Amino acid sequence: MAAVNLERVFPKLSPWGPGFERELVDDFTKYAGTGLDIKGYPTHNLAFSALVKGKADIMLATGYNPDLNSTTTPLVKGPVYEQSPASMLHHIRRFELRTPFELCDQDIFIPNHSGLIRIFKNLSEQLACSPNVISGANSNHLEPLLKFNEDKSIRFHLVESGALMPIKPFLHKLRVTDHFGDDLEYRWYTRKDVQGLAQKVEDYWQLITSNGTLDDLREKYFGFIPEEIDFYDVYSLRKNIREKLPLYRKYIIRAAKKYNIDPLLLAAVMYQESHFDPLAKSKTGVRGLMQLTNDTAQLLGLSSRLDPKQAIYGGARYLRFLWNKLDGRDVEGWDRWLFTLAAYNQGLGHVYDAIDIAKYTNRHPGTWRSLKQVFPLLTQTKYHSKTKHGYTRGYEAVDYVDSIRYYYYIMNGLAILPGLEADYLLPLANAR
């Protein structure tokens, strides 16, 4: 298989797994009962050329729509599974785009992406001007946008929204200012001369769109990323990582090792709970870095919820306790951790109730996507009256879990990317 080296295909930042598209490919090979050799290319054109020349049987086309009439090689289009527009970004130190005619006489960066180049060519013809296009060496958005995030010399950047989505939280100085052109399509292209392949691909896509696999993967990799990034929130997170996290890092690493938890995930829970404030107190009376109730602290044998070491070890131990209590509930992988976080927020009994409601409403009881839909139903008498533990603020659990997912994702990325935060986060990442 040929694919382009995009973050969502070959992720560097994501802790969730091998990548959204890559998981689809792996799942397809199991379905088809075949092996897999996936090769990354710097541009869509080179990946398409590999398909045409027989170096690949399938091309994963992320936002790339080739002209099949340009080749005599018989190819088959797979179904479109995603569409996204071309987004124009502007640097916050420069004026946003107030009218498209401002693009004239401007330097505009465009990755080496034929779909984006075509969209911009059409736009230039409409404007009757010739902006100066600075083209990247490849189709990847990550490296050049990280560079331009710190460099205000180029005012505008045209990118493909689907590829932008997973890196958007790290581009705190770039903002979407407009969208242009027709939506770019995500689909697979297959060689028609490989017997049975095109039909196998078509059958596979029909299966995963009907059984929830595609939606579950989309939720796993992207479901926590806000439509609009609150960059003040991200700024506060980064500031707290530099100024407060070092005070507790050794406790986080040791507690995470003792209870077999990812240290960055434990840090993300702590940040969601208290913003690394050991004296934090909520309206409901929970206290400390991990916002433990008095009853939970007594259950864990803590003498003080305000002592950072006790709070961190106690919170980690309680998370592992909740995780263990999900044995026999047919919840695996990351879904199990997300169920655990929901239990930390609303109580294990309410998670059990939500699982039962998922079954009652014919949803899969073992995925976070299902629980995300079901938990808010426990605010309604129609549903919570049928449960063992009754009413709970289920919508708060959804927001809580997705917020931790978001902070965890950002911390994982900041541990890898160049920047001040890497010095503070990399020891946690290395301790996994």
> What kind and span of H or E run contains 76?
strand 75-77
**CB-based contacts of 287-294 (< 8 A; 24+ apart in sequence):** 289/248, 289/315, 290/314, 290/315, 290/318, 292/318
Query: Other C-beta atoms within 10 Å of 282: how many?
Result: 11
Q: Which of 82, 185, 273, 421 is catalytic?
A: 273
Structure tokens, 340: 């655990």
**Cα–Cα distance measured from residue 236 to residue 231, given in angstroms and rounded to the nearest whole number:** 8
Q: Is 96 a catalytic residue?
A: no
Angle between helix 263-274 and 333-346 (nearest 10): 30
Instruction: Give me the helices (H) in 325-416, please.
Output: 333-346, 348-360, 368-374, 381-384, 394-416
CA dihedral of residues 331, 335, 339, 340 (deg, nearest 10): 90
8 A C-beta contact, residue 344 and residue 291: no
> What kind and span of H or E run contains 59?
strand 58-62
8 A C-beta contact, residue 380 and residue 374: no
**Cα–Cα distance measured from residue 1 to residue 258, given in angstroms and rounded to the nearest whole number:** 41
287 CB contacts (<8 Å, ≥6 apart)?
279, 280, 281, 294, 305, 306
49 CB contacts (<8 Å, ≥6 apart)?
none
> What kind and span of H or E run contains 181?
strand 174-191
Task: Count, in order, helices (H) and strands (E) of the chain.
Answer: 18, 9
Give the residue numbers annotated as catalytic, written as ranges.
273
